[in-house]
């Protein structure tokens, strides 16, 4: 297409991402992750993340421009995540994006990180049907959103986790089970040899009267810890595969049940699932089955677009530019605890 060329920058957590989008088409997609540097701490360390962004910013942007075969001067806009996220990490991306926009003489757009996650799917499957329900499940988020028009209307936040994110639950439970970090993929692998019915872990906030769209995962982690402790006290070997399979089943059940309840309540025919936990084989299988039964179309972008990246921020920037949205002033600041 001949539309504006938009560079997107993401730096809210441990991924430094740069992506380039034109007319909804992906031209470049580069991500550098500092995940390995956090592994031995069992979670993202904000200081380490910020320093890694500083080191990765220029090379990642350079690679994205190379991938698209573009020079900085050919960009028409720069979009950047302003929040929510880690403040030191966000600062680095915003400062870098401002410099690029200033140097290229193009407008800068501030993007909400979750709007980016929602838009990621458009790069694979085209424009989002309106309305749609979006489930964002990663190490940092567990959010259920109702999206009508990504750029013209605020996203309706149906529910969130009250404590741990779904991915965080996998990561913490993996530690208890003696599996490596990040725990999600390790639990997914271990679960292949397990029986999901070997243990009945709780389904938090699924009773009548509970908030239908809120999540809670810290109790599930505690249940896994108690189950592991019981085995240890008995001097028995921990049936890790069974524990992993049962945990995965509980998380997949709760996530898909609530997402489909939202689709039913709002008469929505399309469910989009994004975030690292969308990679989970059981989450995918159960959600697919329940969507098919309910006549709901399920859209899951490929994993490289599901996890944090700059292309998804460019995708929102592209929509904003084409909608004639107001750019951000060059003194725009980060909003680490941005609401929706």
Contacts to Zn ion by CB under 5 A: 308
Q: Is the peptide bond before 223 cis (omega within 30 degrees of 0)?
A: no
Instruction: Tell whether residue 137 is among the known ligand binding residues.
Output: yes
Q: DSSP characters for 272-283?
A: EEESGGGG-HHH
Q: Which does 170 bind (CB under 5 to 8 A by kind): Zn ion, ligand KG4, none?
A: ligand KG4
Residue 191, burial from CB neighbour count under 10 angstroms (0-12, 13-18, 19+): buried
Q: Using CB under 6 A, which of 17, 84, 116, 183 touches ligand KG4?
A: 183
Report CA-CA distances (Å) from 165 to 19, 140, 170, 214: 26, 6, 9, 11
Using CB under 6 A as the binding criterion, the count of chain residues that bind ligand KG4 stands at: 20
* Separation CA 274–CA 276 (nearest Å): 7
Given Zn ion, ligand KG4, none, residue 277, with its beta carbon under 5 to 8 Å by kind, binds ligand KG4
Binding mask 217-236 for ligand KG4 (x = CB under 6 A): --------------------
The footprint of ligand KG4 on residues 126-145 (CB under 6 A) is 138-140
Token representation of residue 298: 């399920």
CB 61 within 8 A of CB 96: yes
The residue within the footprint of ligand KG4, chosen from 10, 121, 188, 242 (CB under 6 A), is 188
Three-state DSSP at 232 gives helix
Tell whether residue 332 is among the known ligand binding residues: no
- Cα torsion at 328, 333, 338, 340 (round to 10°)? 0
Considering the complex, what minimum distance in angstroms separates the CB of residue 150 from ligand KG4? 19
Q: What does the DSSP assignment read for 32-46?
A: EE-HHHHGGGTS--H
> Does the annotation place 140 within a ligand binding site?
yes
Given the complex with ligand KG4, which of 107 and 275 has the nearer CB atom? 275
In the shown chain, the binding pattern of residues 5 to 34 toward ligand KG4, with x for contact by CB under 6 A and - for none, equals --------x---------------------
Binding mask 256-285 for ligand KG4 (x = CB under 6 A): -------------------xxx-xx-----
Is 317 near ligand KG4 (CB under 6 A)?
no
CA dihedral sign of residues 240, 246, 249, 250:
negative
In terms of Cα–Cα distance, which of 188, 164, 159 is closest to 257? 159
Q: Which is nearer to Zn ion, 249 or 308 (CB)?
A: 308
93 C-beta neighbours (distance < 10 Å), count = 27
Partner touching 317 among Zn ion, ligand KG4, none, CB below 5 to 8 Å by kind: none
The span of 124-132, 168-176, 197-205, 254-262 binding ligand KG4 (CB under 6 A) equals 168-176
136 annotated binding-site participant: yes
Cis peptide before 182 (omega within 30 of 0): yes
Binding site for ligand KG4 (CB under 6 A): 13, 138-140, 167-168, 170-171, 182-185, 188, 275-277, 279-280, 307-308
Sequence ranges of the binding site for substrate: 136-140, 171, 184, 188, 280
């Amino acid at each position: 297409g001949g539309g504006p060329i938009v560079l997107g920058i993401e730096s809210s957590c441990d991924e430094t991402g740069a992506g380039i989008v034109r007319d909804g088409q992906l031209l470049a997609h580069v991500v550098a992750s500092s995940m390995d540097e956090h592994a031995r701490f069992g979670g993202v360390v904000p200081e380490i993340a910020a320093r890694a962004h500083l080191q990765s910013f220029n090379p990642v942007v350079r690679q994205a421009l190379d991938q698209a075969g573009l020079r900085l001067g050919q960009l028409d806009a720069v979009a950047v995540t302003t929040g929510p996220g880690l403040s030191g990490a966000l600062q680095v991306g915003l400062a870098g994006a401002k410099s690029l926009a200033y140097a290229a003489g193009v407008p800068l757009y501030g993007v909400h990180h979750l709007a980016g996650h929602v838009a990621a799917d458009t790069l694979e499957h085209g424009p989002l049907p309106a309305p749609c329900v979006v489930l964002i499940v990663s190490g940092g988020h567990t959010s259920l959103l109702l999206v009508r028009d990504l750029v013209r209307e605020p996203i309706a936040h149906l529910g969130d986790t009250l404590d741990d994110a779904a991915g965080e639950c996998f990561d913490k439970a993996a530690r208890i089970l003696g599996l490596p970090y990040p725990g999600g993929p390790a639990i997914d692998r271990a679960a292949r040899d397990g029986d999901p019915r070997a243990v009945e872990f709780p389904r938090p906030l699924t009773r009548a009267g509970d908030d239908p769209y809120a999540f809670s995962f810290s109790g599930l982690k505690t249940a896994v810890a108690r189950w592991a402790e019981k085995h240890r006290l008995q001097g028995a070997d921990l049936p890790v595969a069974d524990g992993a399979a049962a945990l995965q089943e509980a998380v997949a059940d709760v996530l898909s049940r609530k997402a489909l309840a939202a689709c039913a309540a709002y008469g929505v025919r399309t469910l989009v699932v994004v975030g690292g936990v969308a990679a989970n084989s059981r989450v995918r299988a159960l959600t697919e089955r329940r969507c098919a039964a309910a006549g709901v179309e399920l859209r899951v972008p490929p994993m490289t677009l599901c996890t944090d990246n700059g292309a998804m921020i460019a995708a929102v920037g592209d929509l904003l530019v084409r909608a004639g949205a107001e750019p951000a002033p060059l003194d725009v600041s980060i909003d680490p605890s941005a609401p929706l």
